[in-house]
Chains A and B, each alone.
Chain A
Amino acid sequence: MLILVETSGKGKGHKYRHRNRGKNRNLKHLTIALAGNANVGKSVIFNELTGSNQIVGNWPGKTIERAEGKLFFNGYDVDIIDLPGIYSFSTFSMEEIVSREYIAFEKPDVVINVVDAAVLERNLFFTMQLIELEVPIIVCINQIDIAKQKGIVIDTDKLQAALGVPVVATVAVRGEGLHELMDTVIDYVENRIETRKNEIRYGFEVEKRVDMLSRLMVSKNLDLKYPYRWIAIKLLENDPEIIKLVENSSKEVVQKSYEMAREIEEIHNEPSFSVIASERYSLANQITAGAQVQSEIKISFSERLDRLATDRVFGYVISAIVIGGLLLWTFVVGNFLSGLLTEAFGFFQPVDPQVSGTLSAIIWNGAVGGLVAGITLIIPFVIPFYIMLSAIENSGILTRVAFMMDTAMHKIGLHGKALIPLILGYGCNVPAIDSTRILETRRERLLAAFAITFAPCAARTIVILGLVAVFVNVWWALALYVIDLLVIFLLGRIALKVVPGESTGLIMEMHSFKLPTLSIIAKQTWVRTKSLIYLVLPIYIFGTAFIQALYVLGILEPISNALAPLTVWWLGLPVIAGVLLIFGAIRKEFILLMLVAFYGTNLALVLTPVQFIVLALVAILYLPCASTIAVLAREFGWKSAGMITAANFITAIVLGGIAFRLLSLIY
């Protein structure tokens, strides 16, 4: 057998090692799309097959854009596409349109419909819509282990007979069944599987009208890119996008469909889209009843945990532990590791780093300083943080926290689900803003993104810890976190009044708890940290050296002086702060790194405690970093990005000035 792996990303194959790269050119090409409900394991399967490192986790909506990877299998060069999870092909969310258009227009050779074995009926509702799209499907019943824990056993043969498409059972997290899945794909494309095409048949009244509409379209010979039958059903469901599509070709068909929908409504006393959904679900129910055996079992541990996590008292305690504990953990473990590493790197003592020696010596000094600061101040906080975040993300606790905090989130115009991107924002604002796409309206996404730009991300944590915890005390560092969270809440309240648009309520699937596997946690931590090591660490090294060179050459002084009224008079900071804040806009850690570059590691000689606190406060609030502004502009346009940035800046300056004056009274 010849299997080799290569991905469009940087990931390396680990399950299916490559054996023979030379025969590449003779391979037959194949495209497979993974489609299905949210959080059923599509990305896990994708990672296993392609060796990629798509982020996985136990909450719905992680995959926001389709991902592509490659697998070489049995003489085939297979492109694998991971689509965002959706519940239906209606056209009310971007993901639904994206997935539908991909499947209908790009026509992958096979669509693997990944199905959650524990929630077969609801998943089949989508499977049936895929069958209606008349694309080649293989159903992959995933997570059969978790279903078994719930007493659910699925007879794949019966399911296969009922659906008329091949069915394969898998446990993707352990790689079980994936080989069979790929074998089935190949057998299917090589026509070795007899498939009896089953049509999803609705009730008589609906079916009659679907038929009439299809025939009308056939007679008019409309070219609509979708199957006629599927279009007819969508028209009867009053799907606005499809109505628009058909209207361009034939107004008569749309008119006819309105009439027919009305007739169905009269007969069933129910809107026709509701009739069709109900009938589709009752078919899904019949098929499920025929193929699944549900036995009574004892309440599982995960079920008990679930009850505790949504308990009216403990639920809040657990939510608080997740929201605050993640920061506290980073804080405690990071501080400890940072201490160890600082000792280990104690040999590095820059010789009067300010102005002495040759230019090249100073630059070298700066570069080594950047490296040491990166290793001792940044890495120790980031790694423990991401380990914990991956564990939290994969356990399923996030949906419970979202459930418990829904009411609180309403105070800032959002619903519980918005808490998930906010917590991800503790790591890095950029992916967090991406994941606001799990929210329904633009307004909600914008409000959530605004809140995220204040979230204490890893870079802010570094500034708080590196400046305040080390040189003032731990309590002030913790106080800064609390102030930051208060700022999020208060500004969220204000933004709510300013941003127009509609808000929706929470509708979220709650999946069972899972014990996160160590390998997934390790992998995800690595994926998230490696960019820091590959990309950011060199930036630290070169950036610090570069800035020190600028400093020595006297270029920075005029800038600092120009900003002095703001930095010195209003905020009470040293003159150099102007330059710190300018470079800090690129990456906030630079503020700390530059201070180290200019003054060495013992900053207590240069700044007073008040200055440490004010600088850290201003630094965490004053601007979203450059990458965050870029992603804001991409998602919401430059105007919104600009306004969010301005709001950040004003808040930081106002609060910084007040803090300086108040703190001066204490110290």
Chain B
Amino acid sequence: MNESSAISKNIEEYLEILYKLSPNGEQVSTSQISENLKISPASVTQMLKKLADMKYVEYSPYKGAILTDTGLKLAKRVTRKHRLLERFLCDVLKIKKNKIHQQACEMEHSLSDDAERALCHLLEQPNKCPGDNVIPECDLKFTSCEECLIQKEEDVEEVGKRNQNLVSIIDLKEQKKGKVSFIRGDHKVIRRLLDMGITIGAIISVMKVAPLCGPVEVAVRGSKLALGHDIASNVFVEAVEDEGC
């Protein structure tokens, strides 16, 4: 029934590491993966070929692999579950920080989508894991966390999933545009963003990304806004091709 159950843990681990090494979907080399997973380059190559057959990555020998859209979707889902679980283990169960990663790795593969959503509600829509990595957005058909909370009674199947991959505006390159599709966070922040013109469906373009996890300068509806790193990482867009306007 559930597609993810058909995929072995191993594949999920690979996708997770590919996403971790390049959240923006750039090429990841075989050696980088082998170092991170502590697996010989030969076995990594073999696995990447397998993943390429399954259309999760595009693999070019000697260069490495890039996640495909499908691969990225799966990778984000696993990573999201992993990081949410870490938050849960750390904040709720108060387990020592050095143990949570291993535990989350074990649990992430068996966590259902409904349980993941409930966990997200329980933790009040966290945006970062205890290690300060951004938790990827969920892939449910919602435009904001507020909406997800309102429609609590409906389960994941009833809600349905998004088809396209979203990007957080901090991961959008300078001068790129996107259509606002999902805003994470409590309603106060969302309302402030809405008032400033960042509404669902608005076209937003990234002007500047300050270094050192600094804020992002965006242009929306003819005005320029500075958004702090945390807030920017909660605004997700569908990348839009520039039509030269």
Contacts and interface: CB of A to CB of B under 8 A. Distances in A.
Interface of A: 87-88, 90, 92, 118-122, 125, 262, 265, 269-271, 273-274, 277-278, 281, 284-285, 288, 307, 310, 312, 315, 399, 402-404, 406-407, 415-416, 504-511
B195 A90 contact: yes
Contacts of A310: 207-208, 210, 217
A403 B226 contact: yes
Nearest to A126: B195
Given A415-B228, A507-B227, A404 B191 contact: no
A506 B196 contact: no
B50 interface: no
A125 B210 contact: no
Contacts of B187: 271, 273
B197 A121 contact: yes
Contacts of B213: 407
A504 B189 contact: yes
19 contacts: A88-B195, A121-B197, A121-B221, A125-B195, A265-B150, A269-B142, A271-B146, A273-B187, A274-B146, A278-B200, A281-B202, A406-B210, A416-B215, A505-B229, A505-B230, A506-B215, A506-B228, A507-B189, A510-B226
Contacts of A505: 189, 227-231
A629 to B, nearest CB: 31
Given A310-B217, A509-B223, A509-B225, A122 B197 contact: yes
B191 A90 contact: yes
A265 B142 CA distance: 11
Contact of B222 (A122, A399, A510): A122
Is the contact region of chain A dominated by helix, strand, or loop, or is it mixed?
helix
A269 B141 contact: yes
Contact of B211 (A312, A508, A509, A510): A312
A332 to B, nearest CB: 31
A112 to B, nearest CB: 21
A195 to B, nearest CB: 27
B218 to A, nearest CB: 10
B149 to A, nearest CB: 9
Contacts of B29: none
Nearest to A292: B222
B226 A399 contact: yes
B188 A416 contact: no
Of the four ranges (under 10, 10 to 19, 20 to 34, 35 or more), the interface on chain B belongs to 35 or more
Contacts of A511: 224
Nearest to B225: A509
A281 B221 contact: yes
A281 B197 contact: yes
A274 B211 contact: no
Contacts of B231: 505-507
Contacts of B225: 507-510
> Ordered nearest first, which 5 A-B pairs have the shortest CB separation?
A505-B228, A506-B228, A88-B195, A505-B231, A277-B194
A307 B223 CA distance: 15
Contacts, number: 137
Contacts of B227: 505-507
A125 B222 CA distance: 13
Contacts of B197: 121-122, 125, 281
Nearest to A37: B223
A416 B226 contact: yes
Contacts of B196: 87, 122, 507, 509
A407 B194 contact: no
Contacts of B151: 265
Given A119-B222, A122-B222, A274-B200, 11 more contacts: A92-B192, A121-B222, A273-B194, A281-B199, A406-B210, A416-B228, A505-B228, A507-B225, A507-B228, A508-B225, A510-B226
A271 B144 contact: yes
A265 B195 contact: no
Contact of A92 (B141, B188, B224): B188
B171 interface: no
Nearest to A129: B195
Most chain A C-beta atoms within 10 Å of own C-beta, residue among B201, B224, B226: B226
Interface string B59-75: 00000000000000000
Contacts of B27: none
B188 A403 contact: no
B24 interface: no
Contact of A403 (B201, B215, B223): B215
Contacts of B144: 270-271, 274
A297 to B, nearest CB: 14
A407 B210 contact: yes
Contacts of A274: 143-144, 146-147, 190, 194, 199-200
A287 to B, nearest CB: 12
B90 interface: no
B214 interface: yes
B212 interface: yes
A265 B153 CA distance: 14
A271 B210 contact: no
A596 B153 CA distance: 77
B236 to A, nearest CB: 14
A269 B222 contact: no
B222 A120 contact: yes
Nearest to B233: A505
A406 B229 contact: yes
Nearest to A96: B195
Nearest to B234: A505
A83 to B, nearest CB: 16
B179 to A, nearest CB: 12
B17 interface: no
